[in-house]
Structure 1
Amino acid sequence: MKTHQSRKCLLKALKLAPLTLAVALSGCAVGPDYTEPTIALSSAYLHGTNEQQAKTDYWWTSFNDASLNQMVEDVQRQNIPLQVAAERIKMANSYQSIVSSFKVPTVSLGAGYFNYQLSKNDSLLGSALNPIGASMPTGTPLDSVTLLDNQHDGVFAGASIGWEMDLFGRIDRQSNAAKIRVEQAEIYRSGLNTLITADLVHNYLQYRGAQERMALVEVNLADQTKTLDLVKKLVKSGYGSELDLAQAQTMLAATESVIPQLEIAQQVHKQRLATLLGEPLTQVDIRLANRSSLPSLEGVIPVGLPSDLLKRRPDIRMAEREMAALNEEVAASIANRYPKFFLTGTPGASASSFDDLFDSDSFGWAAAVGVSWNVFDGGRGEALVELNEARFDAAVLGYEHSVNSAITEVDSMLFAYGRSQQNEQRIQKALTASENALSKAQSLYKAGLINHLALLDAQRQQRLMEDRLVAARLQTAQVTVGVFKALGGDWQVSDTETNNS
């Protein structure tokens, strides 16, 4: 319908005078108008809870870890990929400025000096350059008279003006598409900031967890070394068995085997932190030297409504903006099939000497209005429209897929978060039971009712539960980071807070 209306406007305009052409065609823009998509979503997540509120800004501060907060601020300022993403925003802005510049006239100024000589043997002008009396008897008064001088020089100054009248909105649509690409570059940086911040928080928590587990292993190792020494003495004195000795040696070797794994984990996560921060390992060691325990998140995770994902998730926002950009490109390809109208002008001054350059008689100008219409291109223009329409349809499907994937990811992470909390609670109960058992074993040992080996075994069980609790907390922390990453949101620390830190 809109294309048919544009053609009627064009036929009407071609019958009008050139001075009224722009006015007549001002309402003939072609191409589809963009409407933001609407998707029906459920009112709550499958594994969400009612008390959770929709706020995810600065969620990592709920760990109450000053070192972590400082590292997040620093990584957002220092990370190299984030700096590259910022440069991409600048490039997109520059490209948008380039495209938009075609909407206004282009003006070029020029000035200079010229000198040229015409050929006297030229077939067209040669007779005017030779003396008129050359073909007459010698001595006539016209022997030195010519109609034209063969050498000329002078100065000039002027301007060249060109403007395409964007009557069908082709340039305007291209400019809109370029502006949307700027928005996409900003969304990309926001999404990258989310991923990098989540990666830093994850590696920090994993390092602290491995560090706390290492401290427990060292205590266990000391206790099991004492146990082994005691068993050796008992075996030597005839009060112990070889089985007791073998069991003590096995437990000690098993505990020692955990140390290299924890050392590898600490080194890997520390190296990743150094890469994210763009700092040497020595600087990261300084950052990590002031704490050795795994922080815990306080409060519940603020989930919010599924519809919030449409605004918070960078991948969904990127997919929606891709639809908007391709819609503008479809419209631009449609407008490209219509005539293009041009206005050109070249005002200037030219004179044989600089003194006369700005004299009123030295000024001159030329102006023209033209039209260009590609009436036959072998179907290339129509194919370009169909290509962009197919790209738009693919973007629509991509948007729907992004929304569905986001909902599934959040539900999956919430399920994992709930189960990890249950696991942590059960291990906490087991730890409490092992602590009670250790307390009773200590009382029985003081009363002489059990031997030292039984007491050490109760200590080993209690330390084992402590290690399992740290591992469970570490799993919960890992899932927590995944939940917040799935929920999305703007995690950019403001410049004011960064400067005040």
Structure 2
Amino acid sequence: MTAIRRWLAVCAALTTAGCTVGPDFHSPGVTAPASWGSEPASAGLTYGAAVDTQWWHRFGDPELDSLVGRLAKQNIQLQSATQRIDQARAQMHVAASAGLPQASWSGSYAYRHLSSHGIFSLAEPAPGSSFQFDFFANTLSAGWDLDLFGMVRRAVEAEHANQLAAMEARHALALATLADLATSYMQLRGVQEQIRITNTNIGLAQRNLDLVQSRFGNGVATTLDLAQARAQLATLRANLPDLQNSEAELINAIGFLLAEPPRALEAELTTPAAQPPVPPQVPVGIPSTLAKRRPDILAAEARLHAATAQIGVATAAFYPDITLTGNMGTESLSAADFFALPARQFAAGPTLQVPVFQGGRLIYTLRLRQAQQKEAVLAYRNAVLGAWREVDDAMTAYAQARRARQETVEAFGQNRAAFSAATQRYREGASDYLNVVATQAALLSSQSALAANQMKIETTLVALYRALGGGWEYAEVAAR
């Protein structure tokens, strides 16, 4: 008993000391540029304030706000990501349980017959003893791995980092899903504007056809004028099916994000609405804060942390391991005295395990973990560089789309004036119908370009918000 107490004291001291082998994780440093590119900033479109985490409200569209409000609760991928977080949390507790005392109970009964020619033939049985007997036993066993060199602690650290990675992966998915929803919504309103423009031009073409038919009946217009007017009307009507198909696909895309069956949102979204306006300026923060905000970068950092901790697990496998074990119970040949004091039995003491020869398994496991950690470092660096590039690309695309707006508006105004003049000259008989056809086609093209430009401004702004890494918080608020 004195020796056992001495072992317990030594093991307790070693456990309290908390020797943990392997490298400690330190958040990787990032040398970020002092500011973003000058092109968007010079246009007065961005400024360096904190990134807006509820940026979809800045479009001032109640329908978009309503769709986002339903997204976090209904999206199936977000629900699956939540389950992966629960799995990672459970795995962490599984790893932590290895460092806690373990206990189990077993009970047994057996009717035995011993061979008279077996090992017991070496001893002379007591007078009247039988080789057939009942045997009752119950045992309470306990053990506690002291984790002297931190194998369990490093494993828990790795699983905790994996849990953080799962959480950041859900944040990244929430941001991507939000951006997909907003992009599809902007595209839907853009397509609906294209449908409205096409229908307006169909109405103009129909009135022109009526005019040509009237003039043809009066002998003023020619057969060529009549054919051109009819061809123009048919061409415009032929554009509608593709636009209507795109409208249906975008409505279904939004419905899919909300886990709705096809056409479930048709009644809600087929009513045309104006293309949402964009804010005059966008807060973009500074590059040095991007690594602390973008979920994909934070997930890569968490995976690097887990890989670093796994090196500690592999390193601890080279060191001795001590487990305190003990068992107590009773053994009896009769059920009557099964719980009697003389039937008790117990054993207690430490078990020392020392790796002597493992065929290279420990060495190559350590090398494997070190290589995985180096790969995680590269993945982290790649995530940071990719994030900077995405922000710069999105800012440039947004600025260029805004710059193109002025020229597109100018082209629309000139084409509208040209179409009006051509129509008036045809009414007065000063020009043929070919000028009307040409100017209306140019007008339709510039109107479509104006709607497409507005849609591009909106979608590139959504891409910029996504690249900046803000907005995933909506899913966390909805989950509470």
TM-score (norm 2): 0.87
Relative to structure 1, the CA distance from residue 81 to residue 497 in structure 2 (aligned partners, 3 Å threshold; closer, same or farther) is: closer
1:37 aligned residue: 28
2:252 aligned residue: 271
1:237 aligned residue: 218
1:476 aligned residue: 457
CA distance in 1, matches of 2:227, 2:210: 12
One of 95, 107, 114 as aligned partner of 1:111: 107
Correspondence 1:59 to 2:40? no
Higher RCO, Cα 8 Å, sep 6+ = 2
Q: Contact 1:200 / 1:276 at 8 angstroms: preserved in 2? A: yes
Q: How many aligned residue pairs are there?
A: 467
Report how far residue 362 of structure 1 moved.
Answer: 3.3
One of 305, 309, 325 as aligned partner of 1:328: 309
Relative to structure 1, the CA distance from residue 52 to residue 214 in structure 2 (aligned partners, 3 Å threshold; closer, same or farther) is: farther
CA distance in 2, matches of 1:175, 1:342: 18
Report how far residue 197 of structure 1 moved.
Answer: 1.4
Q: Which moved more, 1:95-104 or 1:368-377?
A: 368-377
One of 11, 14, 18 as aligned partner of 2:7: 18
Correspondence 1:95 to 2:91? yes
Secondary structure class of the residue paired with 2:265: helix
Q: Contact 1:231 / 1:248 at 8 angstroms: preserved in 2? A: yes
Secondary structure class of the residue paired with 1:366: strand
Relative to structure 1, the CA distance from residue 44 to residue 246 in structure 2 (aligned partners, 3 Å threshold; closer, same or farther) is: farther
Q: Contact 2:151 / 2:316 at 8 angstroms: preserved in 1? A: yes
Correspondence 1:205 to 2:186? yes
Deviations 1:156-183 (A, max 9, x none): 4331112222111111101110111111
Deviations 1:28-85 (A, max 9, x none): 3211111111111112110443634222312112222222222222222122222221
Q: Contact 1:119 / 1:126 at 8 angstroms: preserved in 2? A: no
Deviations 1:143-163 (A, max 9, x none): xx42x3333335443311122
Q: Contact 1:120 / 1:127 at 8 angstroms: preserved in 2? A: no
Report how far residue 467 of structure 1 moved.
Answer: 3.2
Secondary structure class of the residue paired with 1:365: strand
Report how far residue 357 of structure 1 moved.
Answer: 4.2
CA distance in 1, matches of 2:171, 2:180: 14
Relative to structure 1, the CA distance from residue 284 to residue 351 in structure 2 (aligned partners, 3 Å threshold; closer, same or farther) is: same
Gaps of 5+ in 1: 1-15, 133-144
CA distance in 2, matches of 1:28, 1:378: 26
Deviations 1:242-278 (A, max 9, x none): 5534543443233223212211211221221222222
CA distance in 2, matches of 1:246, 1:449: 18
Q: Contact 1:96 / 1:179 at 8 angstroms: preserved in 2? A: yes
1:345 aligned residue: 326
Report how far residue 485 of structure 1 moved.
Answer: 1.4
1:423 aligned residue: 404
1:80 aligned residue: 76
CA distance in 2, matches of 1:289, 1:355: 84
CA distance in 1, matches of 2:301, 2:476: 28
1:386-405 matches, cutoff 5 A: 386-405=367-386
Gaps of 5+ in 2: none
Correspondence 1:408 to 2:389? yes
Q: Contact 1:48 / 1:303 at 8 angstroms: preserved in 2? A: no
1:299-318 matches, cutoff 5 A: 299-318=280-299
Report how far residue 236 of structure 1 moved.
Answer: 4.1
Correspondence 1:187 to 2:168? yes
Q: Contact 1:73 / 1:498 at 8 angstroms: preserved in 2? A: no
CA distance in 2, matches of 1:384, 1:333: 6
Relative to structure 1, the CA distance from residue 456 to residue 223 in structure 2 (aligned partners, 3 Å threshold; closer, same or farther) is: farther
Percent identity over the alignment is 29
CA distance in 1, matches of 2:267, 2:479: 20
Deviations 1:416-446 (A, max 9, x none): 100111112332344455667788899x89x
Report how far residue 323 of structure 1 moved.
Answer: 1.2
1:257 aligned residue: 238
TM-score (norm 1): 0.84
* Structure with bigger gyration radius: 1
After superposition, the CA RMSD in angstroms is 3.1
